[in-house]
Amino acid sequence: MCYCGLDMEFSERCREGFALAATVAGDASAADAAPGLTPSARDLLMRLPRELAQATSAQRQARVRQMVAHTVAAQATAHTDSTHQGRRVARGLAWLASGTAPEQGRTWLAAAASLPRAGFLPEPALLSLLRRIAARPVRQ
């Protein structure tokens, strides 16, 4: 992106966030967003949405799940590293463990120490709410 004559780089997470936002908006290829981007930003940001648009449905779903897992994992790590760390946060993350990378899930399960009774599965609405909360930025 050009700002005062300088080129700006976009992190992998930023590019994934752009692609996720386009996907959520029902525009997986981000074609609607492209006209509003500068040429240099367009080159960098449009690669992943183009790849997603060209992928098969199964490939696209797998990649979107992977990007969401990165986002939730990054934010959840920020939550557990903050002063708000506690058993409730650890338990909530343990419930979300199955939706993230295996090594991250194991870390969250280990931090939870104890979960409710064996076989307990929270309601889908609760898991959805926990995902939204985990994805929120941590207020310092």
pLDDT of 80 reads 52
What mean pLDDT is predicted for residues 17-26? 85
Instruction: Please provide residue 42's backbone torsions phi and psi, each rounded to the nearest 5 degrees.
Output: -60, -45
Reply yes or no on whether the pLDDT at 134 is more than 50.
Answer: yes
pLDDT tens, 105-131?
Answer: 788 777 776 666 667 777 888 888 887
pLDDT of 47 reads 92
What mean pLDDT is predicted for residues 12-31? 85
**Cβ-contact 60, 28 below 8 angstroms:** yes
Reply yes or no on whether the pLDDT at 26 is more than 60.
Answer: yes
pLDDT tens, 74-95?
Answer: 665 555 554 345 566 777 777 7
- Give the C-alpha separation, 71 to 49, whole Å: 17
Q: Which H helix or E strand runs over 3?
A: strand 2-3
**What's the predicted TM-score (pTM) here?**
0.50
Instruction: Provide DSSP, 6-57.
Output: EE----HHHHHHHHHHHHHTT-TT-TTTGGGS-HHHHHHHSHHHHHHHHS-H
What mean pLDDT is predicted for residues 40-44? 87
Reply yes or no on whether the pLDDT at 138 is more than 70.
Answer: no
pLDDT tens, 49-75?
Answer: 999 889 998 998 888 888 877 766 666
